[in-house]
Structure 1
Amino acid sequence: MTAQETQETVDYVDADDRPVTRGPRGGAAALGLHYRVAATVCVAADGRLLVYRRPVRAAVYPGHHDILVGGCPRAGESYESAAARELREELGLSAAPRPVLREPRPSPVGPCWLAVHVAEVTAPRETDPREVADHFFAHPRDLLDHPPTPFVPEGRRILTRLLDEGLLPAPGS
């Protein structure tokens, strides 16, 4: 576990996303429990999505591109509050993320409950270099047809689902 993981307390939840106990980030799997993740897909007014590249020193998926901006809600924090906080911390954006999906998922560090949100945004004002190496906007279909490489597999899966289920806002809406 990293120093940040041992300093942050998060909720550990059961297979139905019910809180069971609390502990440091990264510790849920050792107890046979899930942790929570709040992620946001950022959409510009013209329908393009924010794509960012993770730093090469990132613990998970270093140097990979992704559309899911987020992290773990802190103990007692709602998914929506965590999604908004992560946008402020990582991209310097104030937005009102709208929940669109919530489902249990495997992850590189153990099972989690992933809550996906969508937020309409402008260009990031100030990114956190510990979380975002660089970023750009791209049309969703272009990301599926010609994704930048490497790309986080979960981000690609979520993008496909959002498009298939019509969960992204229409340009100019």
Structure 2
Amino acid sequence: MTAHETVDYVDADDRPVTRGPRGGAAARGLYYRVAATVCTDSAGRLLVYRRPDWAAVYPAHHDILIGGCPRAGESYAEAAARELHEELGVVAVPRLLLHQPRPSPLGRCWLAVHVAEVPTPSRVDPREIADHFFVPTADLADRPPTPFVPEGRRVLAQLLARGLPLPPP
């Protein structure tokens, strides 16, 4: 998604209030939305990727959350599926696991975290992903690569603590 695309700005209850350019919600005291997906393979391993060195937020950090902002009028699920296709070149049906307000480096957001089983990505977007690999969940929880995006680490811990299913049934 580019900065000139229109996104929904929402209130503290995730109700749309108005629309505007990506990155403009905080200046209005509103939230923006983020749709992210934790990807697994058929063996139940988690996809970890490294952000490019030039990324504006968390450059060269590892993460498990593939995603971005839903476009204006787009649902979280639609945005999650679109982002998987744009960033990894895969088609998948993400399943919602978490939906909660979160702070972010760009202001407050509503984060919807999905899970999806995906094949090994064959066409990643180098503007978004510098490297990627699958890791057993226990190994990732015990020895995550560094540096790691704080929100991705927090989501992983939250999913594991809740016993949420990874991968999806």
Q: TM-score, normalised by structure 1?
A: 0.95
SS state at 2:48 partner? strand
Shift of 1:170: 5.2
Partner of 1:55: 52
Shift of 1:45: 1.2
Shift of 1:37: 0.1
Partner of 2:121: 124
Of the three residues 39, 42, 47, the one matched with 1:42 is: 39
Amino acid at match of 1:136: F
Moved more, 140-149 or 33-42: 140-149
Pairs aligned (count): 169
Aligned CA distance change for structure 1 residues 51 and 170 (closer, same or farther; 3 Å): closer
CA RMSD between the two structures: 1.3
The answer as to 2:23 corresponding to 1:26 is yes
Q: How much identity, in percent, do the aligned residues show? A: 72
Aligned CA distance change for structure 1 residues 122 and 20 (closer, same or farther; 3 Å): same
Partner of 1:143: 140
Shift of 1:112: 0.1
Partner of 1:97: 94
CA distance in 2, matches of 1:76, 1:130: 25
Q: Which residues of 2 match residues 64-79 of structure 1 at below 5 A? A: 64-79=61-76
SS state at 1:101 partner? strand
Partner of 1:17: 14
Q: Kindly report structure 1 stretches of 4+ aligned residues shifted beyond 4 Å.
A: none
Contact kept in structure 2, 1:140 and 1:159, CA below 8 Å: no
CA distance in 2, matches of 1:138, 1:96: 21
Shift of 1:4: 2.2
Aligned CA distance change for structure 1 residues 129 and 14 (closer, same or farther; 3 Å): same
Partner of 1:88: 85
CA distance in 2, matches of 1:77, 1:38: 10
Amino acid at match of 1:153: P
Of the three residues 145, 155, 164, the one matched with 2:161 is: 164
Q: Which runs of 5+ in 1 are unaligned?
A: none
CA distance in 2, matches of 1:124, 1:170: 17
Of the three residues 109, 113, 130, the one matched with 2:110 is: 113
Amino acid at match of 2:140: L
SS state at 1:26 partner? coil
Amino acid at match of 1:118: V
Deviation readout 1:65-112 (Å, 9 max, x if unpaired): 000000000000000000000000000000000001000000000000
Contact kept in structure 1, 2:38 and 2:115, CA below 8 Å: yes
Q: Which runs of 5+ in 2 are unaligned?
A: none
Q: TM-score, normalised by structure 2?
A: 0.97
